[in-house]
Structure 1
Amino acid sequence: MQDFIFYLKLGWEHIISLDALDHQLFVLVLVAVYLLKDWKKILWLVTAFTIGHSITLALSVLDVVRVPEKWVEFLIPLTIVITAVDNVLMRNKYNSLMKMNYFLALFFGLIHGMGFANTARMMLAKEQHIFVPLLGFNIGLELGQIAVVIAILIVQFLLLNLFRVNRKDWVLFISSGVFALSLKMALERMPF
């Protein structure tokens, strides 16, 4: 149980810490197109990301998949850039955009999962079973994502309902800002 709690906290910190800006930006740009009433869809969305993240994290820890860290660190912000561009281009087609975001969350979760793989590989002893640590980490990650989503939805609710910000303007503003930040990250991390 102690191992489980340790990895649960690690998963939580992986998304909540100040060093997790790339993950927070990804969640922000994914969730920006949803409304508070879409909370069930949002839960499925963050779960799709966690599933993708879990798959490659497990494959990386088991040494089935190994991608050079410099490429992973470049690809993570690139996934955020693509998601932000998708939001801007499809901002008038919310239903199509929401469906696309499920795919992006799952597929890009695969890439994000490789970001923690080297650290996880070093932390897990060879004789240790990976199920409990990965389960704890992924539950912590999921709980952290839900906390980030709740914060985003509260801010969004206040802006859209109290301050009467236009929904399309909100999506454009968030997506443009996230695009700029993640493009800067991608350019700084270019592996070539």
Structure 2
Amino acid sequence: MSDFWLYFNLGLSHVLDWTAYDHILFLIVLCAAYTFASWKKLLLLVTMFTVGHTLSLLLAHYHIVSVSSKVIEFLIPVTILAAALFNLFTAGKEKKVEKMGIFYIVTIFFGLIHGLGFASFYNAIESDAGVLPLLEFALGIEAAQIIVVLFILIAAFIFQSIFRFNKKDWVLVVSSLVIGMIIPMLISNWIF
């Protein structure tokens, strides 16, 4: 049972590590257009991201996929930028966007990229104990993501209800702030 908490806590700290805030930034832009009223769709999106993240760790752990860490460290901020830009161009058009099943597929793909960013660290701490530690780690990631999502939804509620931001402005401001934060990360990891 102590191994469960070890890997669960590792998943929690992976997401909630404020020094490695790329995961949180991605969650912020992923959640920006959602409210408590659409929590089921948001939970599905976050879970899709976890599935992609876990799948890439599994593929990397068993040496099925190997990607240069420089490429992954560049692609992680690209995924955040892409999600933020998507928000900027679709703010206020939720009805059209919700019909796009591709959004879920892209979220899984982005999860794959983010998972590959953590694969070398995970492989260094985990020998060949099987899939169970990876699933325990994934549960920690999912729990941490739900914590972050709750904070984001509470912030959205406060700004949209108390400070009277309309939803479109909230999405535009949050996405723009994330873009401003991600550009330095993109430049420092530039591979071209």
- So what's the TM-score if we normalise by structure 1? 0.94
Code of the residue aligned with 1:76 in structure 2: it is I
Query: Counterpart in 2 of 1:108?
Result: 110
Q: Report 1:61-140 matches (<5 A).
A: 61-98=61-98, 99=100, 101-126=103-128, 128-129=129-130, 131-140=131-140
Percent sequence identity is 42
Aligned CA RMSD, in angstroms, stands at 1.3
Q: What is the SS of the residue equivalent to 2:20?
A: helix
1:168, 1:77 → 2: CA distance? 23
Deviation track 1:12-51 (CA, whole Å, cap 9, x = no partner) reads 0011111231000000001000111111111101000000
Structure 2 gap segments, 5+ residues each: none
Question: How many residue pairs get matched?
Answer: 190
Code of the residue aligned with 2:188 in structure 1: it is E
Shift of 1:101: 3.9
Structure 1 gap segments, 5+ residues each: none
Deviation track 1:40-72 (CA, whole Å, cap 9, x = no partner) reads 111101000000101111000111101111111
- So what's the TM-score if we normalise by structure 2? 0.94
Deviation track 1:108-143 (CA, whole Å, cap 9, x = no partner) reads 0010010110011111224x22x1210111000000
More displaced 10-residue stretch of structure 1: 164-173 or 97-106:
97-106
1:107, 1:143 → 2: CA distance? 20
Tell me, yes or no, if the aligned pair for 2:92 and 2:167 is still in contact at 8 Å: no
Q: What is the SS of the residue equivalent to 1:67?
A: coil
More displaced 10-residue stretch of structure 1: 74-83 or 100-109:
100-109
